[in-house]
Amino acid sequence: MSDLSVALAKPKLNLALIFTVLLIGALAFVQVYSVQSILPVLMQEFHASAATIGSTVGATILAVALMSPFLGMISDAFGRKMFIVGSIIFISIPTLALSFVHSISWLWWLRFVQGLAVPGITVVLLAYIGEEFSGNPRIRLMSFFVSGTVLGGFLGRFLMGYLTEFIGWRHAFMIMGIISLLGGLLVWRNLPASKQFEAKPQVSTALKTLWHHLHNHYVLAACALGFCVLFSLVGCFTYINLYLDQPPYNLSSSQLANIFAVYLIGMIITPLSARLIIKFGTNLTVLMAMSLSIFGVLLTLLHPLWMIVLALAVMSSGIFITQSSTITYISANVTEGRSLASGLYYMCYYAGGFTGSLLCGHAFESGGWFMTAVTLISAQLLAMLIGGVLMRKKAEHN
């Protein structure tokens, strides 16, 4: 029995494992938003309208939302590490192919294909961490994963922008594809194989698990909170650019791109969120984080530019802490079909991002940044209600 316990012992945290989880998070999102920094270049290249070229960003998000539950179900049947590594390497294929596109339709579809593989990284890694780790190590790895996603979201925009400026957008996509390919090989070498995974290949089992998840208030609460999280983040950072493009700020496109540097604060804030979760529990941490985020949105209503940049840092910090709390909450409260539960979460998460961009767009058109802020705060108050009322007790003791 003791030999069996040793064989099934959960791996210990070390710098190599922490770096690998951080890297996986970055590789999951380095391609998702990368084209945002070069949309004007692509618009000119393909003689496309702003709405058409902007849809190439939404194409990837749409694919992520659609595939998240399904890849979770497939992974529950066949395994974790193979899906994570395979998905990272798969993303390199459409990314490399983007170097050769000559029509906006091909650009859109290849961006869609990129998104199909993202849940194979994010959803499955959450299940992997939930199975292989417990207690504080699990919380810390979740926070480093979120930090990696923050880093990847920033680096994607940053690298594509500068690579396009120096070597052109086609060669830039080539470099980005090589990054995903080499990153996948590095993860394959350094990520420990699953020891706690139990395959459940039957379709009936997956459907039964799905039914239970849809009646599990822990899963539903996490999904609702995830919806509010990306609603706030996408709505804020999409339309703050339009606001700052107008007088009296009149920021150039490069200056607006620099605004995304506030994302990097998430690299510092998110690991610290693990301490908050351990000390205060999930629901109280969410209440504090969303209060911070609301305060940040209110600060954006002040006029000095430096204050708005500070406000965005405060607002996004609250969002990143909430996201870390939510995925930790899922892993702590779901013991069966973890990747399917994560898939449902990410489907709602990205649906929130799409809805946020839509509703905040109407708000901005009708009442400028003030009405956009009102819409954002409404979503964040809903998130506080979810965190304070629906997310209860069980996660506090994990």
pLDDT reported for residue 396: 43
Nearest to 309 by CA among 236, 365, 377: 236
Kindly state whether residues 229 and 175 are assigned to the same domain: no
Structural domain count of the chain: 2
Nearest to 163 by CA among 22, 34, 27: 34
CA separation, residue 271 to residues 23, 123, 337, 346 (Å): 14, 20, 26, 21
pLDDT reported for residue 115: 92
Kindly state whether residues 333 and 232 are assigned to the same domain: yes
Alpha helices in the chain (DSSP H): 2-7, 15-29, 39-46, 50-78, 81-97, 104-117, 119-132, 135-167, 169-190, 203-213, 217-245, 253-258, 265-280, 282-299, 305-333, 338-385
Q: What is the mean pLDDT of each run of 10 residues along the chain (398 residues)?
A: 46 77 90 79 78 73 82 67 88 95 93 91 81 74 82 86 86 95 91 66 62 72 87 82 79 70 74 73 81 92 90 88 78 68 80 80 84 93 82 50
Kindly state whether residues 5 and 18 are assigned to the same domain: yes
Q: Phi and psi of 33, rounded to 5°?
A: -110, 10
pLDDT reported for residue 366: 86
**CATH number of the domain enclosing 381:** 1.20.1250.20
Nearest to 291 by CA among 221, 356, 396, 385: 385
pLDDT reported for residue 80: 76
Kindly state whether residues 48 and 144 are assigned to the same domain: yes
Q: Phi and psi of 50, rounded to 5°?
A: -65, -40
Kindly state whether residues 1 and 112 are assigned to the same domain: yes
Could you tell me the sign of the dihedral formed by the alpha carbons of 265, 149, 126, 392, in that order? positive
pLDDT reported for residue 373: 94
pLDDT reported for residue 141: 83
Kindly state whether residues 136 and 226 are assigned to the same domain: no
Nearest to 209 by CA among 121, 339, 331: 339
Question: How far apart, in whole angstroms, are the C-alpha atoms of residue 209 and residue 215?
Answer: 10
Kindly state whether residues 240 and 275 are assigned to the same domain: yes
Kindly state whether residues 309 and 344 are assigned to the same domain: yes
Instruction: Check if the beta carbon of residue 227 is closer than 8 Å to that of residue 345.
Output: no
Kindly state whether residues 270 and 315 are assigned to the same domain: yes
pLDDT reported for residue 1: 39
Last residue of a domain, one of 199, 223, 243: 199
pLDDT reported for residue 119: 86
Instruction: Report pLDDT digits (tens) over 191-224.
Output: 877 666 565 655 556 666 666 767 677 778 888 8
Last residue of a domain, one of 147, 165, 199: 199
pLDDT reported for residue 325: 80
Kindly state whether residues 175 and 255 are assigned to the same domain: no
Q: Print the domain residue range for 380.
A: 202-398
Kindly state whether residues 135 and 207 are assigned to the same domain: no
Other Cβ atoms closer than 10 A to 104: 19
Kindly state whether residues 342 and 397 are assigned to the same domain: yes
Instruction: Report pLDDT digits (tens) over 2-45.
Output: 444 434 455 566 788 888 888 999 999 899 888 877 767 787 78
Which residues lie below 8 Å from residue 339, measured CB to CB, with a gap of 6+?
A: 71, 72, 73, 75, 76, 80, 123, 124, 126, 127
Last residue of a domain, one of 199, 214, 230: 199
Which residues lie below 8 Å from residue 251, measured CB to CB, with a gap of 6+?
A: 244, 245
pLDDT reported for residue 34: 85
pLDDT reported for residue 6: 39
